[in-house]
């Protein structure tokens, strides 16, 4: 509809003016029709009265064939300015007398014949018989000018136009004011709704202007707002409360790990240090068994130190924020391999890295930790092979970048795969392979923080494959 998208104020105004115009037009047309009808009837009536009068006056002239008398009777029509021509015909229907005399005879019908009054070229004209004692003795012709009607209609038209313009203007002014009765409460409602959606200000209230349906709507709207505001408030309170709790917990955790790192390591260092000092200073005076005991103390104190360090690293990463950026995984992998090669030669290993390893959106430092751990794992568990092999590849997936690291190492029993990514969970003894059980737990934790997944496949004695994935649309997520 043509009014659909314009503001409600104009909509109401236009509707009012439109209806008003329609009423006005219909009324004017009605009046005009009536006016024409009335004028026509009046004219006809007048013509028959005038015609009747002239007929009865001219019977003697016709009977006695007195043309002068007849002409004089006709000339009395000068008092009727609307009658422009008149003529009398004798019993043989021949022209007998005319009015006005100045008019040429040929402007009159040459023969008389009874015709009702009708409209011809801007005139009404017609013939009526002249009767004497029920006998027709002649005919009267009358021609009536209707310019007067045009004049009247013209005046009427001008009045109609003036009235229309005036009432149009009045309607416009009135509608401009009257539409406010409806539009003001609606606009107030709309304004309040906009304020709420744009500013999330639930304390906004729409003003009520009356007790009609709009007033009821305003009341309901305000009530809904109050409820929504209350809900929002409660929710905010709850979030604030929870955040506070979380912060407290986080602070506790922080001070806990701080004291763990400081207070636990100091005595451990003393155990390790004094045992070493004892061995250095008195080792030659203690027998082989005693020396073995001392070695065990030194070794296990060292192991506990590593354990504490790993645990602290684990909790630190839990608290670390993920900073997303484009990560070139291929470069990252070769960086990790280089770094690991410095610690212990990887020359023995056949390591194949796929050329098409896809980049992803992730935290560079954290993903480096992931690669260090998974590659380190593969290196460790294939170290007892004569020809250890490690393959770093990816799997095509529409939603995720899936990376896989396979080795031909000892593998593990799939029965225990659920324990693989748990903290301190190990599938091999310390005697077989050293470790704290933190490495893959850390991988899982970092990948989860990226909203990715970790999983694994393995065959005992044949090797293992570790998978981890990073979502492709990572940018749209929020991270904690």
Partner 1 sequence: MSIPEVEILLVEDNHKDAEMTIRALRKVNLANKLVHVEDGEEALNFLFANGEFEERKNALPPRVILLDIKMPKVDGIEVLTKIKNDPRTKMIPVIIMTSSKEEQDIIRSYQLGVNSYVVKPVDFESFAKAVSQLGLYWLLTNQSPNLS
Residues that bind partner 1 (CB under 8 A): 258, 261-262, 265-266, 268-270, 272-277, 298, 301-302, 304-306, 308-309, 312, 316
Q: Nearest approach, Cβ of 217 to partner 1 (angstroms)?
A: 57
Instruction: Between 133 and 343, name the residue whose CB sits nearer to partner 1.
Output: 343
Instruction: Name the nearest CA neighbour of 363 among 448, 456, 423.
Output: 448
Q: Select 219 or 254, whichever has its Cβ closest to partner 1.
A: 254
Sheet holding 135-145, edge to edge: 95-99, 83-89, 135-145, 123-132, 118-120
Closer to partner 1 by Cβ: residue 290 or 305: 305
Question: Long-range contacts: 261-269, Cβ < 8 Å, 24+?
Answer: 261/308, 261/312, 264/308, 265/305, 265/308, 268/301, 268/304, 268/305, 268/308, 269/301, 269/305
275 vs 329, beta carbon nearer partner 1: 275
Least distance from partner 1 to the Cβ atom of residue 262, Å: 4
Half-sphere exposure of 199 (CA within 13 A, CB side): 10
List residues bridging with 393 in a β-sheet: 404
Which CB sits closer to partner 1, 237 or 263?
263
Minimum distance, C-beta of residue 280 to partner 1, in the bound complex (Å)? 9
CB of 271 to partner 1, least distance (A): 9
Nearer CB in complex with partner 1: 275/443: 275
Are 446 and 367 spatial neighbours (Cβ–Cβ below 8 Å)?
yes
Phi/psi class of residue 239: alpha, beta or left (left: φ > 0; alpha: ψ in -120 to 50)? alpha
Other CB atoms within 10 Å distance of the CB of residue 438: 22
Min separation Cβ 297 and partner 1, Å: 11
- Least CB distance to partner 1 at residue 319 (A): 10
Number of Cα atoms under 13 Å in the Cβ half of residue 328: 5
Q: Residue 146 in contact with residue 117, Cβ under 8 Å?
A: no
Distance of CA 305 to the CA centre of its chain: 60
How far apart are CB 291 and partner 1 at their closest, in Å?
Answer: 16
- Our CB check for partner 1 shows the closer of 206 and 298 to be 298
> How far is residue 303's CA from residue 438's CA, in Å, rounded to a whole number?
13
**Rounded to an integer, what distance in angstroms lies between the CA atom of residue 372 and that of residue 313?**
14
Instruction: Report in angstroms how near the CB of residue 445 gets to partner 1 at its nearest.
Output: 18
Distance CA 216, CA 329 (A): 62
Shorter beta-carbon distance to partner 1: residue 194 or 316: 316
Tokens 């003894």 correspond to: 429
CA distances from 343 to 86, 329, 374, 414 (A): 137, 21, 16, 31
The residue (of 303 and 419) whose beta carbon lies closer to partner 1 is: 303
The pair of three-digit structure tokens given for residue 427, joined into one six-digit string? 């599938």
Query: Cβ of residue 265: shortest distance to partner 1, in angstroms?
Result: 4
Shortest spacing between CB 365 and partner 1, in angstroms: 12
Phi, psi of 412 (to 5 degrees): -155, 170
CB closer to partner 1, 275 vs 402: 275
């Amino acid at each position: 509809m043509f009014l659909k998208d314009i503001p409600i104020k104009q909509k109401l105004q236009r509707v009012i003016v439109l209806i008003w115009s329609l009423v006005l037009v219909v009324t004017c047309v009605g009046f005009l029709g009536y006016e024409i009808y009335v004028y026509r009837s009046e004219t006809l009536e007048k013509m028959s009265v005038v015609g009747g009068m002239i007929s009865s006056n001219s019977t003697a002239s016709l009977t006695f064939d007195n043309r002068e008398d007849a002409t004089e009777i006709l000339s009395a029509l000068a008092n009727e300015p609307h009658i422009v021509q008149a003529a009398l015909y004798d019993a043989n229907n021949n022209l007998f007398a005319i009015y006005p005399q100045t008019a040429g005879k040929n402007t009159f019908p040459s023969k008389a014949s009874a015709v009702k009054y009708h409209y011809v070229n801007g005139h009404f004209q017609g013939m009526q018989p002249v009767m004497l004692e029920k006998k027709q003795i002649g005919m009267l012709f009358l021609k009536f000018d209707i310019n007067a009607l045009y004049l009247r209609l013209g005046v009427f038209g001008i009045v109609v136009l003036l009235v229309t313009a005036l009432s149009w203007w009045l309607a416009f002014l009135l509608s401009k004011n009257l539409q406010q009765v409806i539009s003001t409460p609606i606009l107030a409602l709309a304004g309040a709704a906009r304020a709420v959606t744009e500013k999330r200000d639930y304390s906004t209230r729409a003003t009520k202007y009356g007790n009609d349906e709009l007033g009821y709507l305003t009341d309901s709207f305000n009530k809904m707002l109050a409820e929504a505001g209350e809900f929002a408030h409660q929710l905010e309170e709850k979030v604030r409360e929870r955040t506070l709790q979380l912060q407290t917990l986080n602070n506790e955790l922080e001070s806990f790990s701080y004291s763990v790192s400081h207070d636990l390591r100091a005595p451990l260092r003393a155990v390790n240090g004094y045992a070493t000092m004892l061995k250095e200073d008195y080792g030659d005076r203690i027998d082989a068994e005693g020396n073995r005991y001392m070695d065990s103390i030194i070794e296990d104190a060292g192991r506990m130190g590593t354990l504490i360090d790993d645990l602290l690293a684990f909790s630190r990463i839990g608290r670390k924020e993920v900073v997303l950026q484009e990560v070139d995984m291929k470069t990252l992998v070769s960086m990790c391999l280089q770094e690991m090669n410095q610690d212990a030669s990887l020359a023995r290993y056949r390591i194949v890295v796929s050329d098409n390893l896809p980049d992803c959106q992730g935290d560079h430092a954290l993903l480096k930790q992931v690669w260090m751990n998974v590659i380190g794992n593969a290196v460790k568990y294939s170290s007892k092979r004569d020809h250890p092999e490690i393959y770093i590849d990816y799997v095509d997936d529409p939603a995720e970048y899936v990376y896989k690291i396979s080795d031909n190492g000892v593998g593990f029993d799939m029965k225990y795969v659920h324990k693989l990514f748990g903290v301190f969970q190990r599938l091999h003894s310390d005697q077989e392979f050293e470790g704290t059980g933190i490495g893959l737990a850390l991988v899982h934790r970092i990948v989860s923080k990226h909203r990715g997944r970790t999983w694994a496949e393995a065959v005992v004695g044949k090797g293992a494959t570790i998978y981890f994935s990073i979502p492709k649309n990572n940018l749209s997520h929020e991270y904690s």
